[in-house]
Amino acid sequence: MTICRPFSRALACFAFSTAGLAASDAKATEGAASYYFAGGFGSFLTAVPPEPGFSIASQTLMFGGQAQRAVLRGRATFGLSAFALYEFVAGAYAFEPKILGGRLQIAAAAPVIATASMNVSLDTRLFGTLSNTASDTGFGDMLLTPFAFYWSFGEIHVKLAQFVVAPTGRYNVDSLINVGRNYWAFDTQLGITWFHKATGTEVTVLPGIMINTTNRATDYKSGNEFHLDFMVNQFLSPTFAIGVQGYWYKQIDADSGSGAVLGAFMGESFGLGPAILWTPEALKGRAAIVLKWLHDISNTNRLNGDWGQVAISYRF
């Protein structure tokens, strides 16, 4: 996500890409879920270059939803409902000298608290409703940003970033749900922000391609994914902004491996919701608070529900 200074003081932000993990074993792709957290990579002035120096952030990600079917533990599972909460602690450093004509930032985010729960139920004619509930809590999968380059061309700003998800979270192949997903993923993104400083109006699009590796424990390779975060934001004052933000997700190739017992299981979804940004004036633009909620409007082969974010960031 990107946290910004009051726009009337400086057209500059300090950025954190701390989102990108969803309820593991819980959407299409394995478990009908993904490392992509809906709308989680974009926020306010996403592609505007951050100010040089070190920044920290706390970001809480929440999801609750349902799916008709998914593959869990290598078996087809029906009637899923899930909830997940991830608390990330992140750090980033933006270099002052220009590199390749732009600003370079590196970052890492650790899910120090990850908890997920799931209920599975199946209505049968002979035995009535059969159900099972499970939960897991522990350290989740880390998100690394080896590079994020930012360039500015007047009112247009461009961001090129590479993210790596490392399978550091706890994973048990026999568990109904896990806070880790047990495979690597590589997400390349190109964001464009138009920001009209005179009116405080912003429009951003942030497409990305996520490449997934195979979960060796289940021999399940989740299909690669396209995702698009988009934002229309308006600063109502130098320290307060509101926005309508959303996402579009589409799996671009099929799930595979012996564990993909439901076949290709291609997923697609679309969601929208409100967001607000507050930068406390007393802290002179160094801190920011973002609240965001997105609701799934359309959905295929994925958990259908609601996505929430609470982020607090500080730039030294």
Q: What does the block give as tokens for 301?
A: 């082969």
pLDDT value for 305:
85
CA–CA separation, 288 and 313 (whole Å): 5
Burial 202-233 (b: 16+ CB within 10 A, else e): bebbbbbebebebbebbebbbbbbbbbbbbeb
CA dihedral of 268, 25, 92, 154, whole degrees rounded to 10: 0
pLDDT computed for residue 29 by the predictor: 55
pLDDT digits (tens, 9 = 90+) for 121-162: 554 444 444 556 778 888 999 999 999 999 999 999 999 999
Instruction: Place domain 2-315 in its CATH homologous superfamily.
Output: monomeric porin ompg (2.40.160.40)
3-state helix, strand, coil in the chain (%, to 5): 0, 65, 35
pLDDT score, position 30: 57
**Backbone φ and ψ of 283, nearest 5°:** -95, 10
pLDDT for 285 equals 77
Alpha-carbon torsion, ordered 38, 142, 76, 208, to 10 deg: 40
pLDDT of residue 120: 64
CA dihedral 40, 41, 44, 50 (to 10 degrees): 140
- Residue 254: per-residue pLDDT: 83
> Comparing C-alpha atoms, which of 302, 209, 210, 206 is closest to residue 245?
206
Residue 175 contacts residue 56 (beta carbons within 8 Å): no
Those residues of the chain that have pLDDT short of 50 are 1-15, 17-28, 71, 73, 76, 123-129
Residue whose entry in the numeric block shows the structure tokens 């009535």: 128
- Nearest CA among 7, 284, 25 for reference residue 170: 25
Write down the pLDDT at residue 262.
65
Report pLDDT for 44: 94
